[in-house]
């Protein structure tokens, strides 16, 4: 799957793919300046995977 995501030329599309696969921590580390990351930041209490990365 990583190879497929690496094929995306736009960071926003790659971030959306990570979001759909629920890879929140990966999304936040690799694509922090995207709309998908903003969505995670606005709902971080609901996303345990992201919250655990920031302890």
Tens-digit pLDDT profile for the chain (55 aa)?
A: 778 777 888 999 999 999 999 888 889 889 999 999 998 888 766 555 555 555 5
Residue 32 has φ and ψ, to the nearest 5°, of: -70, -20
Q: Where are the domains of the chain?
A: 2-53
The pLDDT assigned to 49 comes to 55
Distance separating alpha carbons of residues 45 and 54, to the nearest angstrom: 11
- Enter the pTM of the model: 0.72
Expressed in angstroms, the distance from the first to the final Cα of the chain is: 28
């Amino acid at each position: 799957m990583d190879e497929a995501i690496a094929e995306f030329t736009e960071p926003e599309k790659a971030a959306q793919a990570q979001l759909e696969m629920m890879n929140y921590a990966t999304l936040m580390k690799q694509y922090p300046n995207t709309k998908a990351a903003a969505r995670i930041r606005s709902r971080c209490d609901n996303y345990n995977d992201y919250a655990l990365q920031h302890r």
